[in-house]
Amino acid sequence: MVRSPTSSGTVRAVDDGQTTPARIDPSANSGRAKPPLFRHPGRVAIIGSGLFLVAALIAGAIGSSDTSNLLASQRQPKEVQGYSPQQGAIVPPNTPITVDLRDDLTADISVCGPNPENCTPIPLDQVQFVPGLGQIIFKPGEKTDLGQYPAGPVTVHVDYHLQGAPATDAGTFTWSFTAKA
């Protein structure tokens, strides 16, 4: 409320009324709804559900994947860390054979084909051997006893033993692949 100025000597004073702002009662706003956390909660729920479903499918696929290369009845021994070509693979007739054994082992390799009785032992001077890794590689060619694999099924026999002790028998391993011309 504005009052008329009063004279009191040479100074005139004006009363503008209350100079402090009115206090707001917080309980007066309690009837109002709070704004939502998300502008579109339905969209957020759908996207969140979709991301959860994708993560669950990926986790399920990783957990159930089978990276073995042999049937359960033909599992490779623990001394054999890997080999190629893989069981049942179809390869050209000059594909290298690689056997990765435990690091303290070496092996004698025989290649049989097309029938299991017709085997060719591979002499040690025709294979590459990496002693520190236990890897043996044979590549058929002109300077080897086996120029190429015969067409059809090929079976590889690996008789492995300790390096430096060829008389010891650590075990055997066999797998097959198919050579196609």
| List of domains in the chain | 79-179 (2.60.40.3780)
Q: Which two tokens stand for residue 157?
A: 């026999």
Q: What is the pLDDT along the chain (181 residues), one digit of tens a residue?
A: 555 555 555 666 666 666 666 666 656 555 677 776 778 878 888 988 999 999 988 888 887 765 555 444 457 788 899 999 999 999 999 999 999 998 989 899 999 888 777 888 999 899 999 888 889 999 998 888 888 888 899 999 999 988 888 788 888 999 999 999 7
Q: Which two tokens stand for residue 147?
A: 């120029």
3-state secondary structure of 52: helix
In whole angstroms, give the CA distance from residue 107 to residue 136: 8
How are beta strands 90-91 and 171-179 bridged, if at all? parallel
Phi, psi of 158 (to 5 degrees): -120, 115
pTM score of the predicted model: 0.57
In whole angstroms, give the CA distance from residue 29 to residue 32: 6
Q: Which residue from 100, 166, 179 is spatially nearest to 140, judged by alpha carbons?
A: 179
Helix (H) or strand (E) holding 136: strand 135-138
